[in-house]
Structure 1
């Protein structure tokens, strides 16, 4: 049989370069930040999450000149995890008791920072001097257990991990997690893959444009992952990818730039598609288009069964039975333009905690990407 995938119609939309400055695992350190439109901190602002530590980090971030500043917590920011802090806070801060609400309000009530705790946010850059682009972001602090720290879940409780990451909305453009996905920027100094497999599977489903993380300091770097959306036998499959990021900012004054723009010559193969319009001449709502896609997929499935072709149990491709939970039609229908994700570990600290003196720091990672101008779809 030929390709049975549903080809989404392209709706012309203007885009403009948007610059992200990405950091993680500052652990009480502050650095000079390059200019950009959006600043993202992927957690572990502090060593132990005390009010004093958080106050200094928040003050530094609030002074930074960006139109949008997005922050999540990390496992070391223990006072921000209410359940963990209630149980273990006195043990960690026995010499100086802390107040969870006061610490949380430093971020939650900040006038210039957007704090995300396993939550979504739609960003519209509205400054006349900015790119005036829009994107959906989801931020989460959770990591597999790695000692007595905050925002952790058991490595052996696969159902819990899958449930946590299944909550990432399918329309997410920028995914911010403290920890990495398994086998993607997660290799420790002991050559162990410390990332989460359930998060990797969620990445396959969502296929955001950019996935940012930290946590594993030695794994700082960049990957471009191409997703296999047609395999009829292997779930969550990735295509072979030989991309290698050579950091242009090492040992010089240049930015550590990841250029995903068309002008840069290596644009990301991800249009952020949410649902296809099956005919450019036919106007329909997103829900109607999704239903048409589902019907087309079901027709393909029926044809395969009539012809005696077994699509395989557990298939994730468009040939799968949309009635099956394993087919994952919603993750595919109308979203085939999401074929690639840029995964970035932007840890600032070069070595793991506890850090030996003097501390060695990386530069922030700068990402340029073309995003849709919100004026066009408002």
Structure 2
């Protein structure tokens, strides 16, 4: 059985909030923030941002300064087992204090008059609420448990990394891109990255595509239901991508993009909700029911507490201690092939992805003509009900 689950997507709020009147936060089940919470990651900016995220009445909230998922039920801050949670979010390149290694090298060039303490800044994010979970380039299984909610389940991957001109946090070299993005699980239902993929919602103010080509290839291998990004303010919007087969017969190791259909949203300033309905109720439904739950071990459903909400999975990057099977899985991701029969079945059901650039800031520095703001993008998605799934 499936139920509609409403995702409210934002990114690049840069220390602005609903309290400022810059944007209004619609109601929903899950809040996703795809990074750049702040302008330069100061402690005061992070406190203001976490304040509005923690007060948001969502069962789950996700943020890209790492990845925060926020739920409205207080719980212990434990990130190694299933738990209730209030927010899930990741950082972006402007959230410099949340990248401790970067800040140790370059922090003084940003905050030379008032150096920040990265540990204190990270604690503001991770301890601002007992119901907030912070992820950085990690995967989680999320189960919505609120009695009045949809009670659905999904697998999500979130990463703060991006490429850019200049000296900012969470960057990576092109030579490392393949190893980085091959860590996205093949069965991730939702992928949240700060950076967009190349040629999809990634054109800068000059009209040039600046997204990551390797991420584009990785998304084609995974074919998630929903991909959320930000980073490029001028390319806010959405596209629906229809995938072809990646079988050897088509002469291409990676899936083909058969068609990309740009979406239409209400103009800036409109009072209409910026809604993308993928359920089929008000338009064409998403052609993708390859849910990760088909590949989740049955132990997930034998948990003692039915209120437990999130399972954070081990990182795929720790190959040194990985089993041979795990190493084979990482290698298969890098090669763009899938050997697991269950994952092959999931992939065969994944024929379309909705990609959303959810940038709230509509303009970039130096903000010629002043700052302008977009509305959050709301996505309705059918997901499996966890209480009625038995692993099949």
TM-score (norm 2): 0.77
Following superposition, the deviation at residue 243 of structure 1 comes to 2.2
Following superposition, the deviation at residue 326 of structure 1 comes to 4.4
- 1:328 is the counterpart of 2:341: no
Listed one character per residue, the Cα deviations across residues 321-365 of structure 1 (whole Å, up to 9, x for unaligned) are: x99984613386222101111000000011113445742100000
Following superposition, the deviation at residue 92 of structure 1 comes to 1.1
Identify if the C-alpha distance between structure 1 residues 251 and 93 changes in structure 2 by more than 3 Å, giving closer, same or farther: closer
More divergent stretch after superposition (324-333 vs 173-182): 324-333
**Residue 4 (structure 2) aligns with:** 17
Q: Does structure 2 retain, via aligned residues, the 8 Å contact 1:224–1:343? A: yes
Q: Secondary structure at the match of 2:124?
A: helix
**Residue 61 (structure 1) aligns with:** 53
Counterparts in 2 of 1:80-91, with a 5 A limit? 80-91=98-109
Following superposition, the deviation at residue 104 of structure 1 comes to 0.7
- 1:233 is the counterpart of 2:242: no
Q: Does structure 1 retain, via aligned residues, the 8 Å contact 2:178–2:334? A: no
**Residue 187 (structure 2) aligns with:** 171
**Residue 218 (structure 1) aligns with:** 234
Q: Secondary structure at the match of 1:20?
A: strand
> Take 1:212 and 1:276, find their aligned partners in 2: how far apart are those partners?
23
- 1:370 is the counterpart of 2:382: yes
- 1:259 is the counterpart of 2:271: no
Counterparts in 2 of 1:146-157, with a 5 A limit? 146-155=165-174, 157=175
**Residue 313 (structure 1) aligns with:** none
- 1:48 is the counterpart of 2:40: yes
**Which structure 1 segments of 5+ residues have no match?**
1-13, 278-284, 287-321
Count of aligned residue pairs for this structure pair: 320
Q: Does structure 2 retain, via aligned residues, the 8 Å contact 1:209–1:340? A: yes
Following superposition, the deviation at residue 207 of structure 1 comes to 1.0
| 1:111 equivalent among 118, 127, 130 | 130
Following superposition, the deviation at residue 116 of structure 1 comes to 1.8
Counterparts in 2 of 1:134-213, with a 5 A limit? 134-155=153-174, 157=175, 160-213=176-229
Report the RMSD for the aligned CA atoms in angstroms. 2.3
Q: Does structure 1 retain, via aligned residues, the 8 Å contact 2:242–2:260? A: no
More divergent stretch after superposition (104-113 vs 125-134): 104-113
Q: Secondary structure at the match of 1:269?
A: coil
Q: Secondary structure at the match of 1:341?
A: strand
Q: Does structure 2 retain, via aligned residues, the 8 Å contact 1:228–1:236? A: no
TM-score (norm 1): 0.79
Following superposition, the deviation at residue 249 of structure 1 comes to 5.8
Identify if the C-alpha distance between structure 1 residues 323 and 50 changes in structure 2 by more than 3 Å, giving closer, same or farther: closer
**Which structure 2 segments of 5+ residues have no match?**
19-23, 63-88, 299-330
Following superposition, the deviation at residue 107 of structure 1 comes to 1.6
Over alpha carbons, which structure has the higher Rg? 1
Counterparts in 2 of 1:308-319, with a 5 A limit? none
**Residue 343 (structure 1) aligns with:** 355
Listed one character per residue, the Cα deviations across residues 132-157 of structure 1 (whole Å, up to 9, x for unaligned) are: 001011110001242100000123x2
**Residue 29 (structure 1) aligns with:** 16
